[in-house]
A and B are shown apart, each in its own frame.
Chain A
Amino acid sequence: MSYKPTNEDLMDYLYDEISPEKKAQIDDYMKSHPEAKEELQGLEATRMVMADLNDEEPESIPFMMPQTNSEWLYWRKYVAVAATILLVITAGWASGFSIQYNDDGLQMAFGDIQNGLTEQQVADIVNNDRQLMLDYMQTSLKSVQDSIGNEMQVLQANMSSEEVIKKVFEQEKNDLMYQMASLNDKLGGDYRDMLREIVVAFSNNWESQRIEDLRNIQAAFTNLEDATINKQLDIEDAILTLSEKVNIIAANNPNKK
């Protein structure tokens, strides 16, 4: 028999996924080839050992959400947007919200739109106010001008005669001169008195000084005189003594003459 099963055939045989004809063919082969049978049994034994590796329980089985309603998922956001818009509109209608756009601009309000002052009204108010202010200022300016004019007229009337001015000026000048002269006199009198006092004091002082000096000189002369007299007396005594001594000597020694 030339048939020899391939490895693939052996696997078919081993897992029993084989046609009955082929199975019979391999059975026959195994009978005549014990070594091939032994090999196959070895693989079978390996399978049995490996079969000891049992299943393990996974932790928990998750819950899956199907994605079949993806069409709804797609439309859902648009429906949400539409619902939101509807809600906003309803809320606006319920609260009496109104909005309009006209020449006055965009207006929004809850309830009736209450227009404020128009541009023209505001302009009129401003103009009126400005006119009032202008009038007031003009009248006050006029009154000020009038009063200044009156004063100027009075002033001009006073200033018209030059002689009056000259007289006033002369009078003023004389008054000033008189004041200066009296001041000068006053100052001159005082000065003379002071000078005289100084001169008197000086002359007195001078006089007493001179007398003092003369006294001193006199005293000095007196001293000198006394000293001269004393000297004279001393000399007279000395001469007297000398003459006596000479006489004694002359008496004692007459031969020597």
Chain B
Amino acid sequence: MKEINLMPQTNFLITAAKQGDAIALNQLVKQWYKRIYNFALKYFGDHDQAMEVTQKTFISMNKNLKSLQDERRFKPWLYRIASNYCHEEARRQKAKWVFPFMKVQSKTDQEFIHNTKSTDRNSDPEKEFGSMELKEVLKKALAELPEEQRLVVIMKEYEGLKIREIAEAMDISENTVKSRLYYALGSLKKLLAQWNINQETIHYEL
């Protein structure tokens, strides 16, 4: 949300970077690097893949910044590049040969979630451990969503894009964005209820 406040500055940086200002360009990267990384990280739930996509996104940004006509549309434009790379990377990973022992077994994941629920959080290290587990569970919940719903949710909930911007980034109608959001939130709600996670349980001791 705070990026909205940075928008005028961002516009200025984009204009400068387009004219070949290295400092402005690097400032732009610095400003958006963390956002794109976290966007990809939530999409994959995997650091390496997120780094890969982030790097590709900024290389592409550097190369294609000139083709961006309207500086105000930078944000959806950048997320569009990132989500395209996410999609490509996911497809590449799917095509890769994955040995059964390398695969994350859903059975062990189930156990993991089960243990999460029953963890007794009395001491500090355990609390920390517990919060780490919660993070994993939420990541897992995101991973359960279909790709297009996941993208919409991440852009909306974590990246703070407007529905209009998401529609632009994904090249779909605003109604489609809303509809996907609706179903995604519904699915997440169901999943969290299934795993017995709600505001009371997670903020139990915090």
Interface residues of A (CB under 8 A from B): 7-8, 10-12, 14-15, 17, 42-43, 45-59, 61-69
Contact = CB atoms under 8 A, between A and B. Distances in A.
Q: Interface residues of B: mostly helix, strand, loop or mixed?
A: helix
Contacts of A54: 135
A43 B193 CA distance: 12
B199 A48 contact: yes
A90 B22 CA distance: 37
Interface residues of B, number: 52
Given A7-B178, A53-B158, A69 B20 contact: yes
A62 B29 contact: yes
Nearest to A9: B178
A241 B42 CA distance: 182
Nearest to B131: A52
B22 A65 contact: yes
Given A17-B162, A62-B55, A46 B42 contact: no
Given A8-B175, A45-B199, A67-B63, A51 B18 contact: no
A10 B182 CA distance: 8
B179 A68 contact: no
Interface string B13-51: 000011111100110011001100110011000000011
Nearest to A69: B20
Interface of B: 17-22, 25-26, 29-30, 33-34, 37-38, 41-42, 50-51, 54-55, 58, 62-63, 66, 134-135, 138-139, 141-142, 153, 156-158, 162-164, 174-175, 178-179, 181-182, 185-186, 188-189, 192, 197-199, 202
Given A49-B198, A57-B34, A66 B178 contact: no
A57 B189 CA distance: 27
Given A11-B182, A49-B198, A62-B29, 20 more contacts: A7-B182, A15-B163, A17-B162, A43-B186, A43-B189, A46-B189, A48-B199, A50-B142, A52-B138, A53-B42, A53-B139, A56-B37, A56-B38, A58-B51, A62-B33, A65-B22, A66-B17, A66-B22, A67-B20, A67-B63
